[in-house]
Structure 1
Amino acid sequence: MDLSFARLDRDVAVTALPTELAVLLVGVAARQAASPTAAAQARLSGTAPEAELLAPPHGAFHRAVSLALRRWPQE
């Protein structure tokens, strides 16, 4: 099975967007990224860097369970 990317045909013409349309799309994307909904979503997602998720400072992936397991032999 060949999983490589398909080659572009050399005889295919490249189509460019009209300048006015490209500017319009950039403006729409900028306004959408600056919207209150986008700002709220950015605050909700990714509060901790991925490195901290894989190696938290307290050393346990689930701190409450870790503390319960530490207390278990003592009970």
Structure 2
Amino acid sequence: MNLQLTPFDRAHELVVLPGDLVALMAAVAGRQAASPTAQAQARWTAAADPLLFRPLHGAFNGPMAAVTLRWRQT
């Protein structure tokens, strides 16, 4: 589960939202960031080795990735 925010994309136009909706979204984002799950994930991400849970073969599903590569090469 990735709880990090996505980066800002300059290729898309900005949209003006109503003030009430903006306040609601900010409140929801604040509550979500303050949740115990988000706090635990932030502590774990900061303390953990980034390679700890990386698959050895570099894919989430190694056998399916191999099949896909073989299919693309034919």
Task: Normalising by structure 1, report the TM-score.
Answer: 0.43
Structure exhibiting the larger radius of gyration computed from Cα positions: 1
